[in-house]
Amino acid sequence: MDNLRFFFRKVLLPACLIFTVLCFVFSAILQASGTEMKLPTINLGNLCQIFAFSLIFSASGLLFTSKKIKYALALPLHFLCFLANLSVVFFLVGKHFDTPRSAFLVLAVFALVYIIIAAIASAVRHIVLSGRNEKKSYKRLY
């Protein structure tokens, strides 16, 4: 029962949140572009791919909660999981791109976005952690 609760709280709920945001963004892009016929539309296959991506991405987020893996190692591992997840789910299974060059360009854009978000998150994490250390008062040992 604890394993099911852990899976629900740590993997499934974040995956559903990621899925909702991705579907909203994808729908907004389709609506704003006005070229629904040229872009892939939202259908059951695409929804399943987005959910599979969200589920794997959420599961890879458990790297950050592991006590055995430091943040400096968890971040590059999560980045590699992100790229592998994106490549397998959307490029190999989904076959959304005709040429490897276009797939690589999209992968590079997503990698750049990930790096920017990770840099901001790491900076915020550093500021928060350094603030915690400053609040601790000095206690004399002797």
Q: pLDDT tens, 114-134?
A: 999 999 999 999 988 887 766
> Can you read off the two tokens belonging to residue 22?
């991705």
> Can you read off the two tokens belonging to residue 11?
């993997």
User: Mind listing the pLDDT tens digit for each residue in 14-53?
Assistant: 999 999 999 888 888 777 776 555 555 677 888 889 999 9
Instruction: Show Cβ contacts of residue 5 under 8 Å, excluding neighbours closer than 6 positions.
Output: none
Q: Which residues in 9-47 are b (16+ Cβ under 10 Å) and which e? A: eebbebbeebbeebbeebeeeeeeeeeeeeeeeeeeebe
Are residues 59 and 89 in contact, defined by beta-carbon separation less than 8 angstroms? no
Q: Tokens 């959307």 appear where?
A: 90
Q: Name the 3-class secondary structure at 32.
A: helix
CA distances from 121 to 47, 105, 127, 133 (A): 28, 24, 10, 18
User: Mind listing the pLDDT tens digit for each residue in 52-101?
Assistant: 999 999 999 999 888 899 999 999 999 999 999 998 888 888 777 778 88
Q: Which long-range contacts does 60-63 make (Cβ < 8 Å, 24+ apart)?
A: 60/85, 61/14, 62/10, 62/11
Residue 104 confidence (pLDDT): 87
pTM score > 0.85 for this model?
no
